[in-house]
Amino acid sequence: MLLAVDIGNTNIAFGLYDDEDLVQTFRSETVRARTADEYGVLLRQMLALRGIDPSVVSAAIIASVVPPLTDVMMDAVRHAFAREALVVGPGLKTGISILYENPRDVGADRVVNAVAAFERIRAGVIVVDFGTATTFDCISPKAEYL
């Protein structure tokens, strides 16, 4: 199963996917002072509380808008599941063309939202995310992030 990690400014959202099916979600407060060991224990305990054997995690992906926690979470995944996480960031091929003057200005959370919405709808789409900040993202019918 794929462990998806969305590190936001207020919360970290975790999703466990079996192919395209979301089978479980859980959340944690974003705590910049936590160590990789602490996040690793937290991840394994959250799975255990739901009766999920951690060995089912075969891959992981991280989208983060909190740069200091990106490497921490990569280490947590490495130690908790013996897996290297893929990190969403500049240079990762997503199938979406980001038409900003500086594409690096678009946060990883917004990129994954855009990709997921376009993959599901396969047409122009507007994504609204009610996170710490409410954001609106427009994706054209040609898979262009506007």
Angle of helix 67-81 relative to helix 36-49, nearest 10 degrees, comes to: 60
pTM: 0.91
Q: Which domain holds residue 114?
A: 97-145
68 and 12 fall within a common domain: yes
pLDDT band at 132; cut points 50, 70, 90: confident
**Which residues are part of the catalytic machinery?**
109
- Written as six digits, the tokens of 93 are 């091929």
79: pLDDT strictly greater than 90: yes
The residue out of 43, 69, 87 marking a domain boundary is: 87
